[in-house]
Structure 1
Amino acid sequence: MTAVSGTGAASWWLSEALASEGEARPAQPLAGDVRADVAIVGGGFTGLWTALSLRRRRPDLPVTLIERDICGAGASGRSAGKVHGYWTSLPRLARLVGPDAAWEMARLGTRAQQAIAAFVAQCGRDVWWREGGGLKVSAAPAQDAALDAAASAMVALGAADKAQRLSRAEVAGICRSPVFRAGVRYPEEATVHPARLARALRAAALEAGVNLHEHTPMLRLADDNEGGCRIATPQGSLAANRVVLATNVGQIAHGGIGRRFMAFSSYALMTEPAPERLARAGWTSPTSIVDARSFLHYARRTPDGRVLMGTGSGPIAYGGRVEAAAMTDDAASLRRAARGLKRLLPGLAETPVAGRWGGAIDVSSDRFPYAGTLPGGRVAYALGYSGHGVNPSWIIGECLASLVLDMRDEFTRSPFCTRALPALPPEPARYLGGSAIRSAILACEEAEEDDRRAPALARAVAALPGMFNLTIGTR
C-alpha cells in the first residue's frame, strides 16, 4: 500500500493554533529501523484518539505514531469544528440499520460528546470549546419539507427531545437572516477550535508515552517475515505486530478499501473579527448553523467574533487521486462559500476575509464512518466520516483500539464495525456519475434559492440517487 503525500495550503485554524503554541517544535522524523507493538499512521483526530485509547487500556503497550506532516495539518485541522453525534442523523440511520441500532449509534455519539468535553476540561489548553447547540434552517421554500420530515421522524422514533422545531421568530431569536424561514435545533452540538484540539491531543499522546514521529510519510506497507507488518519511510522503517491506518482519504487508493469509499471536497472561509455585525444580526450565542441543502452551507462563530462559512459542494476526486488541485484550490467552490455568506448572513458579507481553504472529505457509500480490518487481521483501518468527524473520531478511535487488541466489546459489536457497506461503481463510472449528479443537484438548489424552476435535465439527474436509495449530499 502506498500512502498519499502533501496536504495543500494550511487552514486558518492551523496557522492560528501554531501561533498560539509559540515554540512547539515538530517531533523528529523516524530514522533507522524501529519496532513497536502497534504502529499508527496518521496524526489527526482518529490516530491520536486511537493512540490515547491504547495507552489508557494497556500502559505497557509500545505504540508508535507517524504523521506525514505535523499533527493537525490534515482534515482534522481543516474542519468547521462543529462537534455533534448522530441525533441529527437518527432518521437516516434508522432507515439504514433499523431503529434499535440507530439509537445505539446515537448513544455512542453522546458518549463521545461527553468524552471530548471531559478531555477539554482537563487538557489545560483553551481549545475554544463552546456548547450552544446546532441549528438547521430552511433558507428557501423547497427546503421546508426537509425540516418537516426531520422533525416528524424524530418524533416517530421517540427522540423529540433531541430535535426542537423552531418557528421563523424563534430562529430569528438565535440569528436574524432575511432568508431563514424555520429551523430545527439540536441541543447536543458544540463548537471547538479543531486545530487547537488536535494539538492538545498531540500533547496528551506524548505525555501518555506514545512515540511520535512527524514529517514521516508512509511510503509502503507490507507483511514482514515475522508475522507482522513493515512500514517503509524515507529515512527508515517501522515494524509492528499490528498497524492502524488513520489517514482518511489517503486510504481510498487501496484496492481492498476504495470500492466502498470516495472523496468529495469541502471549502470554507474565515472572516476577520466582526462582533458588532454579529450583534446586529442577533447571533451572540455559540449556536452553529447549517442550511437544508443537499450540498449544505455550514456556519459557526468563534469566541473572538469571526464567522466561518463553508460549503460541502466541492468537486469529487477520481479514484484515490485526492491530491488534485480541485480538492484544495477550486475557485468555484470558494465563490460558493462567499455567496453563501452574502445570502445567508448579508450583514457580514463585506467583512474582510482572514483565510480560505479547502480539503478532501472521505465519504463512505452510506455516509457514515466504518472501522474494520484488512484480510489477515493485522491492519485495522477507518474512514468514511463524510464531513462529520470531530465527534465520531472518538468512537472510531475506541473501535480501532478494540480491533487491534482483539476485543469483542460494545465498540466492535456496534454498527460502526459490523454493518455491511455497499460497494460503489468502479471507475470511471463512479467519478462520471457522481460528478453529473453533483452538478445537477447544485443546479437545482441554486434555482430553488433564486425562486425559479431548474432545467428538466438537471431535475431528472438529481433524482437518480433517490430512485436507487442512495444518499448524495445530506438529504
Structure 2
Amino acid sequence: MRGPLASGEAVGRTAGFVNGDVSFWYRQAGLPSARRPLPGPREYDVCVVGGGFTGLWTAYYLKRARPGLRVAVLEKEFAGFGASGRNGGWLTAELAGSPAHYARAHGRQAVVAQQRAMFESVDEVIRVASAEGIEADIVKSGVLNVATNAAQRRRLHEELAEARAWGFTEADLRLLGADEREERLRVAGALDATYSPHCARVQPARLVQGLARAVEALGVDIFESTAVTEIRPRRGGRPAEAVTARGNVRAEYVIRATEGFTAGLAGQRRQWLPMNSSMIVTEPLGEDVWERIGWAGSELLGDHAHAYIYAQHTADGRIAIGGRGVPYRFGSGWDRRGATQPKTVAALGRMLGELFPAAAQAPVDHAWCGVLGVPRDWCSTAHVDHATGLGWAGGYVGTGVATTNLAGRTLRDLVLREDTALAGLPWVGRRVRPWEPEPLRWIGVQLIYTLYRAADRRESAGRSRTSGYARLAGLISGR
C-alpha cells in the first residue's frame, strides 16, 4: 500500500532533470514576452494587484461588462508567474473548505448554490477559452478519487454519503464499479474509486497566458516587474491606492488578488498562510506503459490519503504528479523561484511508482513548486468594501483554477454594485481570524502535517478506520 509523502529513494531516474526556475508548463509553452513596468503614478477606475488567474479574470469580466472602465493590473514578476502557472492543471469544481463552515452562517441552500456555481465555473472557463481562441490542452474528462487502503475506502464512502445528504446525485459524484474503474485507469492496490464529471485537464501556463492576452486586447493595462508593497484604503476624500516603488496607483477600487503571496503586503503577514505544494513530471511514456496503465480518457486523479496527491495524464503522454512536500516555510516565506527539495522529488517519484508500477522507472524530467493561499478556516472568500474601496478574493486551498473564475465574476458584480445571485453566495464578505504569530504558526503547521503523515502510515499498515492522528490534525488546523 502507498505511504505518505515523505523522504525516501526515488522510483525512476532523476539525473539531469530540471528543478525549479519555471514550471514544466512554462518550459513546454515558453515564457511570455516581458511587458512594461508601471511608468509612474497613474489613476484608474479599478486597480488589480496580482497578475494571476484571480486578477486577470476580474479585469476580464469588468471590461466585458463596462468597456469604458479604466482597469490596470499590477504584477511583481510576470502575469501568471505564481500558482496560476505552476499548479497541477486541475480545473476542478471542488469547494475549498468545509461546507459546514459556510452553512453555519448562511444555511444549507446557500452552500448548494455555491457548489452549483463551482460546477458552472468549470464550463465557463472552457467557454471563454474557446471564445478567445486559447489553446490549453483542455479535456473535460472528470476526476477519479481512489482509495488504496481500508481507512481511505471508508472516507470515500463517507464523502459519497455526504454528497447525497447535500442533495447531489450520481450525475455529480458516483461510485465506480471495479470493471469501469479498471477500464478507465489501473491504479495499483485500488479498492474503490469515485468519479465526478465536474473537472477538466488543462495546461495552466497556456491558459493563463491566453487569458492575459485576451485581457490586454480588451484594453486593460498590465504592468509587470511592478511590486506592490502596500494597499491603502480611501481616506480624507482621496481614492484607494496601491503603493509601488515606481509610483502609486490611485483608483476607486483596489482589488487584492495575490493569493499565496498576500503575506508580502504590509499588514497582511497573518492573513493567508502561503502553503507550498510540489510537482514532478515524467518524460513521455511509451505505448507499452500506457497499455498497462490505461488512462486513455485523461481523467484527473486524486486519492483519499491525508497527505494527498493529485495527478494528470498530460497531452504529450507524461504523468504529472504533485503533493505537499515541505508545506510551510517559517515567517510565511516562499520557495526560491520554484525549486523543490530533493527529498520531495524522491518521495513523489516513489509514490508514482507505487501507484503505477509500469511507470516506476520513468525518468523524472522536471520538478517545481509553488505557493497557494490558506485562510485560518480553509474556506475561500471574496469581498468588496465600498466604504474603503478595497476588495479581495482568494484562499483557494488548491482549487483556484476554477474558483478564480467564480471570483472574477463575483468581484465584477460587487464592484459594479449589481444585486446578483453571485453577489449573494456565502463566501462573499466572509471574514476569519488571522493565523497565529510566529513561532506558533510554524509549529502548528509542522505538527498538522506530521500528524497527517503519521496517520497515513498507520492506515497503510492496515488500520481500518481514520487514524486519531488525522482527527487531531483536523482539530488543530481548523478545517
State the TM-score, normalizing by the size of structure 2: 0.87
| Aligned CA distance change for structure 1 residues 206 and 275 (closer, same or farther; 3 Å) | farther
Partner of 1:81: 89
| Aligned CA distance change for structure 1 residues 469 and 431 (closer, same or farther; 3 Å) | closer
Partner of 1:232: 243
Q: CA RMSD in A?
A: 2.7
Do structure 1's residue 208 and structure 2's residue 249 form an aligned pair? no
The CA distance in 2 between the partners of 1:32 and 1:256, in whole Å, is 24
Task: Pick which of 394-403 and 40-49 moved more.
Answer: 394-403
Partner of 2:112: 103
Task: Pick which of 170-179 and 145-154 moved more.
Answer: 170-179
Q: Which residue among 274, 299, 302 is the counterpart of 1:290? A: 302
Q: Which residue among 15, 33, 37 is the counterpart of 1:25? A: 33
Partner of 2:76: 68
Q: Which residue among 199, 211, 214 is the counterpart of 2:209? A: 199
Do structure 1's residue 384 and structure 2's residue 395 form an aligned pair? yes
The CA distance in 1 between the partners of 2:346 and 2:255, in whole Å, is 37
The CA distance in 2 between the partners of 1:423 and 1:234, in whole Å, is 28
Do structure 1's residue 318 and structure 2's residue 326 form an aligned pair? no
What is the CA-CA distance between 1:205 and the residue it aligns to?
A: 0.4
Give per-residue Cα distances to partners, 1:233-253, cap 9 Å, x unaligned: 333332222111111122235
Partner of 2:184: 174
Q: Relative contact order (alpha carbons < 8 A, sep ≥ 6): 1 or 2 greater?
A: 2
State the TM-score, normalizing by the size of structure 1: 0.88
Residues 30 and 235 of structure 1 are in contact (CA less than 8 Å); yes or no, is this contact kept in structure 2?
Answer: yes
Residues 274 and 334 of structure 2 are in contact (CA less than 8 Å); yes or no, is this contact kept in structure 1?
Answer: no
The CA distance in 2 between the partners of 1:450 and 1:275, in whole Å, is 33
Percent identity over the alignment is 28
| Aligned CA distance change for structure 1 residues 39 and 46 (closer, same or farther; 3 Å) | same
Partner of 1:371: 382
Residues 376 and 435 of structure 2 are in contact (CA less than 8 Å); yes or no, is this contact kept in structure 1?
Answer: yes
| SS of corresponding position for 2:432 | coil
Give per-residue Cα distances to partners, 1:206-241, cap 9 Å, x unaligned: 110001111211133335765213333333332222
Q: Which residue among 25, 38, 63 is the counterpart of 1:55? A: 63
| Aligned CA distance change for structure 1 residues 70 and 266 (closer, same or farther; 3 Å) | same
| SS of corresponding position for 1:403 | helix
| Aligned CA distance change for structure 1 residues 147 and 95 (closer, same or farther; 3 Å) | farther
Do structure 1's residue 305 and structure 2's residue 317 form an aligned pair? yes
Do structure 1's residue 153 and structure 2's residue 165 form an aligned pair? no
The CA distance in 2 between the partners of 1:333 and 1:409, in whole Å, is 45
Give per-residue Cα distances to partners, 1:128-152, cap 9 Å, x unaligned: 0001110000022221111110111
The CA distance in 2 between the partners of 1:62 and 1:334, in whole Å, is 44
Partner of 1:4: none
Residues 141 and 297 of structure 2 are in contact (CA less than 8 Å); yes or no, is this contact kept in structure 1?
Answer: yes
What is the CA-CA distance between 1:386 and the residue it aligns to?
A: 0.1
What is the CA-CA distance between 1:399 and the residue it aligns to?
A: 2.0
The CA distance in 1 between the partners of 2:59 and 2:76, in whole Å, is 16
List alignment gaps of at least 5 residues for structure 1: 1-7
Do structure 1's residue 138 and structure 2's residue 147 form an aligned pair? yes
Residues 296 and 313 of structure 1 are in contact (CA less than 8 Å); yes or no, is this contact kept in structure 2?
Answer: no
What is the CA-CA distance between 1:270 and the residue it aligns to?
A: 1.0
Residues 316 and 434 of structure 1 are in contact (CA less than 8 Å); yes or no, is this contact kept in structure 2?
Answer: yes
| Aligned CA distance change for structure 1 residues 62 and 327 (closer, same or farther; 3 Å) | same
The CA distance in 1 between the partners of 2:230 and 2:90, in whole Å, is 34
What is the CA-CA distance between 1:74 and the residue it aligns to?
A: 0.8
| Aligned CA distance change for structure 1 residues 415 and 195 (closer, same or farther; 3 Å) | same
| Aligned CA distance change for structure 1 residues 167 and 131 (closer, same or farther; 3 Å) | same
Task: Pick which of 101-110 and 227-236 moved more.
Answer: 227-236
What is the CA-CA distance between 1:375 and the residue it aligns to?
A: 8.9
Q: Which residue among 397, 407, 412 is the counterpart of 2:418? A: 407
Do structure 1's residue 431 and structure 2's residue 448 form an aligned pair? no
What is the CA-CA distance between 1:9 and the residue it aligns to?
A: 2.1
Residues 317 and 327 of structure 1 are in contact (CA less than 8 Å); yes or no, is this contact kept in structure 2?
Answer: no
| SS of corresponding position for 1:415 | coil
What is the CA-CA distance between 1:260 and the residue it aligns to?
A: 5.1
| Aligned CA distance change for structure 1 residues 468 and 309 (closer, same or farther; 3 Å) | closer
Partner of 2:471: 463
Partner of 1:5: none
Do structure 1's residue 252 and structure 2's residue 263 form an aligned pair? yes
Partner of 2:200: 190
| Aligned CA distance change for structure 1 residues 226 and 418 (closer, same or farther; 3 Å) | closer
Residues 252 and 389 of structure 2 are in contact (CA less than 8 Å); yes or no, is this contact kept in structure 1?
Answer: yes
Do structure 1's residue 397 and structure 2's residue 408 form an aligned pair? yes
Give per-residue Cα distances to partners, 1:127-184, cap 9 Å, x unaligned: 1000111000002222111111011122222212211101333321111122111111
Aligned partner of 1:67: which letter? E
Q: Which residue among 265, 277, 289 is the counterpart of 1:266? A: 277
The 5-angstrom pairing of residues 441-460 of structure 1 reads: 441-451=452-462
| SS of corresponding position for 1:371 | strand
The CA distance in 1 between the partners of 2:264 and 2:227, in whole Å, is 16
Aligned partner of 1:152: which letter? A
List alignment gaps of at least 5 residues for structure 2: 1-19
The CA distance in 1 between the partners of 2:370 and 2:376, in whole Å, is 19
Partner of 2:4: none
Partner of 1:35: 43
What is the CA-CA distance between 1:362 and the residue it aligns to?
A: 0.6
Partner of 2:432: 421
What is the CA-CA distance between 1:287 and the residue it aligns to?
A: 0.7
Residues 327 and 359 of structure 1 are in contact (CA less than 8 Å); yes or no, is this contact kept in structure 2?
Answer: yes
Task: Pick which of 322-331 and 381-390 moved more.
Answer: 322-331
